[in-house]
Amino acid sequence: MTKEIGSLLQSADPDRYLCAMFAHPTERAGLLALYGLNHEIGRAADSSSESLIGEMKLTWWRDAVADLYATPSNVRRHEVTEGLAALADRIDHAELEALIEARFDDISARPFSNLDDVLAYVDNTSGLLARLALRITGAQDSLDPETVTAAGRAWGLTGLLRAFPRRARIGRAPVGGDALAQHEATPAMLAQGLGSEKVAKARHPVIDAARAACEVVKAAGPLPAEAVPAIGYCRLAGGYLRRLPSEPYAVGPDINPLSRRLRLTWLALSGR
């Protein structure tokens, strides 16, 4: 089953996948299962124009995870749930449930009210995922909490900014409503791809927060070897930010796959 999840993540989440390949085989299986869950719940809001269908998918995953912790345990037939079953002794039910619950706001298309709202979402998705991955690899004590939080924010905010066009269409663009109002823009404009100049100015606080998080991660120094499989990909956030288009509704270029592989390999060898 790990092979099936790996094949999916190679295209859907290549940076996390590549880092997971540096983990011990037993830890690698856990990371891939965790990232498989993240992929499944992350695409729930995108896979259908009907919010009810998205809610049903998230509810299915919430119930499937709950089944893993039932007495006796019930493992539903899916490569992700089968992989997660092996993590039940290391990850609490409440933590996986929180990861799923955070995605219901995407389904509801609730716009972010301010920067703190965006940061809270990122901490509950990308940030929580990073903390769980560190636990799977046994590296949870190798970094201070501030660095882990910054790593989750660097990657999460950058990911939201890279996906700005798609996030705008589902009503969850990474920009605060207060910043939009300050520049005479509205959430309704986002869904229609309007007001590029105003929206570009309104997203600056999120870009600044992402850059600040990248600086915290960089200032922490070399990444411990045991932490690379869990959060090494966060070191790529700065490169993606530099490629972010000035036009908010445009899709930015990806990092060359070979360059990405070499960068992560060097990171695994040196921590830098």
The pLDDT tens digits for 208-226 are: 999 999 999 999 999 999 9
Q: What's the pLDDT at 50?
A: 72
C-alpha distance from residue 27 to each of 80, 174, 243, 251, 265 (Å): 15, 32, 32, 34, 18
- The pLDDT of residue 49: 61
Cα end-to-end span (Å), the chain: 32
Confidence of residue 2 (pLDDT cuts 50, 70, 90): low
Cα angle: 248, vertex 161, 6; to 5 degrees: 130
Residues 5 and 77 placed together within one structural domain of the fold: yes
Q: 264-268: long-range contacts (C-beta < 8 A, 24 or more apart)?
A: 264/15, 264/18, 264/19, 264/22, 264/228, 264/232, 264/233, 264/236, 267/223, 267/228, 267/232, 267/235, 268/22, 268/225, 268/228, 268/229, 268/232
Q: Output the CA torsion sign for 158, 37, 176, 167.
A: positive
Establish if 222 belongs to a structural domain: yes
Percent of the chain past pLDDT 90, that is, above it, reads 91
| Residue 208 amino acid letter | D
Q: Do 216 and 125 sit in the same domain of this protein?
A: yes
User: Residue 149 — pLDDT band, cuts 50, 70, 90?
Assistant: very high
Examine the domain organization and report whether 68 and 189 are in the same domain.
Answer: no
pLDDT band at 111, cuts 50/70/90? very high
185: domain CATH number is: 1.10.600.10
Average pLDDT, stretch 100-126? 96
Using a cut of 0.75, tell me whether the model's pTM lies above it: yes
Does residue 101 fall inside a structural domain?
no
Q: Tell me the Cα Rg of the chain.
A: 18
The pLDDT of residue 48: 57
Where residue 52 falls among pLDDT bands split at 50, 70, 90?
Answer: confident
Alpha-carbon span 241 to 245, nearest angstrom? 9
Q: How far apart are CA 176 and CA 214, in angstroms?
A: 20
Q: According to the model, what pLDDT value does residue 47 have? A: 64
- Among residues 58, 91, 124, the one where a domain terminates is 91
User: pLDDT tens, 247-258?
Assistant: 999 999 999 999
57 and 86 assigned to the same domain: yes
Above 70 in pLDDT, residue 1?
Answer: no
The C-alpha angle 86, 58, 109, rounded to 5 degrees, equals 140
Query: pLDDT grade, residue 124 (50/70/90)?
Result: very high
**Counting runs of H as helices and runs of E as strands, what totals does the chain give?**
18, 0
| Alpha-carbon distance values, 187 to 71, 110, 147, 195, 239 (Å) | 45, 10, 32, 11, 28
Same domain for 207 and 113?
yes
Taken as a whole, the chain contains a residue count of 272
**pLDDT tens, residue by residue, 159-186:** 999 999 999 999 999 999 999 999 999 9
Average pLDDT, the chain: 95
Domains in the chain: how many in total?
2
Q: Identify the pLDDT of residue 95.
A: 98
Range of the domain at 209: 109-256
